[in-house]
Amino acid sequence: MQFSELGLHEAVQKAVAEQGYTEPTPIQAAAIPPVLEGGDVIGIAQTGTGKTAAFTLPILTRLAKGKAAPGAVRALVLAPTRELALQIEENVRAYGRHLPLSVAVVFGGVGERPQIAALRKGCDLLVATPGRLLDLGSQGHGDFRDLEVLVLDEADRMLDMGFLPSIRRIVRALPRDRQTLMFSATLSKEIEQLTSEFQRQPKLVQVGRRSNPAETVEQAFLECPHNLKQGLLAHLLRQPGWDSVIVFSRTKHGADRICRKLEKDGVEAVAIHANRSQNQRQRALEAFKSGRVRVLVATDIASRGIDVDGITHVVNFDFPDQLEDYVHRIGRTGRAQATGKSVTFITSEDVPELRRLERLVGKPIPKPAKAEGFDYAEATRQAFAAPAPDAAPRPHHRGPGHNRREREQRAQPPRPGAWHGGRGGFGSPGGQGGQRPRGRNR
């Protein structure tokens, strides 16, 4: 299959060729034709499969036929995190560089003014995180009355983060006669429910098996008590080929601690997590992307959607709180056609989780092995000589409050009640819930 066979605008094909893509990925080959036809599509694809281009390329082709009226938005992409929103915007700009289309992005954690100005001006395509869009919408900004296309990207993650009420309020204020595309890593019951609520006879496009980690990633599981984790990480980072590494920490403080200790060992590392400002996160990501810093330490939420080419290794320093995150984590490497490796540190507490992980990924996981060339006895001696243990053990009881979803909801409330319709396009007459006719399941 060639890009030229898909019916994309010539200017889009040119931009794609300039990106160095020679052929469409499976999700692109499957999703582009139905999106171009204008129908609703639900795309189930693992991260790193090229799904951003799968919706962006046909949307740009469709948008090329018209122009946004002053102050209006024609296509809206909702994404769970700022990082992902920025990346989508970057991709849209790259793929749309030969088209006279305007793009804007709206997300929290930075000043509202430039975003309000962008909404006033209007744009062909807007990328937004739900929380900030709802904030601005409730102040009356944004005219969505002519909206043609809505995309819910990483819908599963948006649900995990508690964005459903915000999304509902946003979608209710959009024209019913629109195209709705939804992308998710898995097809869960919740996603099916969302589909029936927001889409009309969507075509299902599925690539890869459910919840299966990227096939291209070679996964290793290494035995490692808490107090040896830092030593083992330093050992691995001394091995050849460890050129671009993401290390996953369960907590924000843990991420900072790992970073500090790496720096002490002479390894430059940067951290991204929710306690860091947007600027700090962007700077860290840039340093990592450009190759200036080879180790990025991240928490799950902050890392979601990060698209950095050429990541050679993913290290699960801490076992993920939510098993599904394992798939997202290792998907940071082995993106597109590249190969990658993941290493998961397994403490005695984590062993029971491996069974559940086996069920999730649908294949046997080998018994955790000792790391080759790592002197456990010597490392233990050194760890005891060190002033403090490296990592906080996971709480034994994972009751309320230990659940990542709950923590994220607390950290980033979707601001229920903040939305009141406004005077902008969101506030179109009858745009509030309860007034929509029954039976129109959108």
Query: Which residues form the interface with ligand AMP (CB under 6 A)?
Result: 21, 24-25, 28, 47-53, 307, 309, 335-336
Q: Which amino acid is at 118?
A: A
Q: Which is nearer to ligand AMP, 138 or 216 (CB)?
A: 216
Dist. CA 103–CA 334, nearest whole Å: 29
Nearest approach, Cβ of 25 to ligand AMP (angstroms)?
Answer: 5
Least distance CB 18 / ligand AMP (angstroms): 12
Q: Which is nearer to ligand AMP, 76 or 346 (CB)?
A: 76
CB 74 within 8 A of CB 124: yes
Closest to ligand AMP by CB, 52 or 180: 52
Least Å distance, CB 349 to ligand AMP, is 33
Backbone angles phi, psi at 174, to 5 degrees: -95, 160
- In the complex, minimum distance from the CB of residue 392 to ligand AMP, in angstroms, rounded to a whole number: 32
d(CA 342, CA 334): 9
Distance of CA 179 to the CA centre of its chain: 22
- Least separation in angstroms between residue 48's CB and ligand AMP is 5
Burial state string for 21-45 with b = 16 or more CB within 10 A and e = fewer than 16? beebbbbbbbbbbbbbeebbbbbbb
- In angstroms, the CA 401 to CA 410 distance is 9
Residue 8 or 371: the one with the smaller Cβ distance to ligand AMP is 8
User: What are the structure tokens assigned to 355, written together?
Assistant: 């069974």
**Contact call for residues 213 and 220 (beta carbons, < 8 A):** no
Least Å distance between CB 279 and ligand AMP? 23
Helices 10-18 and 82-95 sit at what angle, rounded to 10 degrees?
110
Cβ distance to ligand AMP smaller for residue 14 or 200? 14
Q: Which is nearer to ligand AMP, 164 or 214 (CB)?
A: 214
